[in-house]
């Protein structure tokens, strides 16, 4: 086991939020390449699978009726509707990660992050920000072919969402991809080696020295 361990101890939930166009998914995937034990949490969705997507790996694909029934039964920690499709994080999935001591990224908006914080207070919350508002606006323009009104609305939503950064544990400015990846990687390593999370390893070391 390396001195800066990513194994042993309890699992870790890294809840990552960011406005559209900030590069959140790319940053997370780059960190995941370095640590095979780290993965994205698998969410439920009512949308049909896209080519190449696998049920249970990319998402749990269910009908809208089934999703709504699960929501009514309180089976989601958080859920939301985006562009006419439903997406949610199931309590059973997260509890299984806890039981298996898995390290996972949870890609959710601030509203969903607050719901996760209420149920899993030991989770770590990271907000990814653009280097500037002008750069964010440029990135949003380059993402698709939306008209000016839609871009203005998306930019306004992004700015409003950034106001939630005040209660997150960490912030990562995505000035450049390598720097942002290094920062998120550093957060992951530091949190995995927090004393409270290495308690069992510390106790074992003390017992072995007797």
Q: Name the domain count of the chain.
A: 1
Does a structural domain hold residue 59?
no
Does a structural domain hold residue 128?
yes
Cα-based angle 143, 177, 194 (whole degrees, multiple of 5): 125
Q: What is the CATH classification number for the domain harbouring 109?
A: 3.40.50.300
Does a structural domain hold residue 205?
yes
Minimal CA–CA distance to 6: which of 189, 166, 161? Answer: 189
Determine the average pLDDT of the residues in 17-27.
92
CB 108 within 8 A of CB 28: no
Does a structural domain hold residue 121?
yes
Q: Describe the crossing of helices 148-162 and 133-143 by its angle, rounded to 10 degrees.
A: 140
Predicted confidence (pLDDT) per residue in 115-162, tens digit: 999 999 999 999 999 988 888 888 888 776 667 888 888 888 888 899
Does a structural domain hold residue 18?
yes
Q: What percent of the chain has pLDDT over 70?
A: 92
Does a structural domain hold residue 8?
no
CB 70 within 8 A of CB 78: no
Q: What is the DSSP letter of 54?
A: -
Does a structural domain hold residue 17?
yes
User: Could you list the residue range(s) of the whole structural domain that residue 193 is in?
Assistant: 13-41+102-209
Predicted confidence (pLDDT) per residue in 44-97, tens digit: 999 999 999 999 999 999 999 999 999 999 999 999 998 899 999 999 999 999
Does a structural domain hold residue 112?
yes
Predicted confidence (pLDDT) per residue in 168-185, tens digit: 999 999 999 999 999 999
Determine the average pLDDT of the residues in 38-43.
96
Q: Which two tokens stand for residue 9?
A: 């101890």
Average pLDDT, whole number, for the chain? 90
């Amino acid at each position: 086991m390396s001195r800066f361990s990513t194994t042993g101890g309890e699992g870790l939930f890294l809840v990552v939020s960011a406005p559209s166009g900030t590069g959140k998914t790319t940053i997370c995937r780059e960190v995941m390449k370095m640590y095979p034990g780290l993965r994205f949490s698998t969410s439920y969705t009512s949308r049909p699978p896209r080519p190449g997507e696998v049920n249970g790996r990319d998402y749990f694909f269910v009908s809208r009726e089934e999703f709504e029934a699960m929501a009514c039964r309180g089976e989601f920690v958080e859920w939301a509707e985006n562009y006419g499709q439903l997406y949610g994080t199931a309590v059973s999935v997260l509890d299984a990660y806890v039981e298996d001591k898995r390290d996972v990224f949870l890609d959710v908006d601030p509203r969903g992050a607050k719901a996760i914080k209420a149920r899993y207070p030991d989770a770590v919350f990271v907000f990814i920000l653009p280097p500037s508002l002008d750069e964010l606006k440029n990135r949003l323009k380059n993402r698709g072919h939306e008209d000016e009104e839609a871009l203005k609305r998306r930019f306004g939503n992004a700015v409003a969402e950034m106001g939630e950064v005040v209660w997150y544990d960490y912030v990562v400015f995505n000035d450049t991809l390598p720097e942002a990846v290094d920062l998120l990687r550093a957060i992951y390593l530091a949190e995995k080696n927090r004393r409270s999370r290495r308690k069992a390893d510390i106790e074992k070391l003390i017992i072995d020295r007797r």
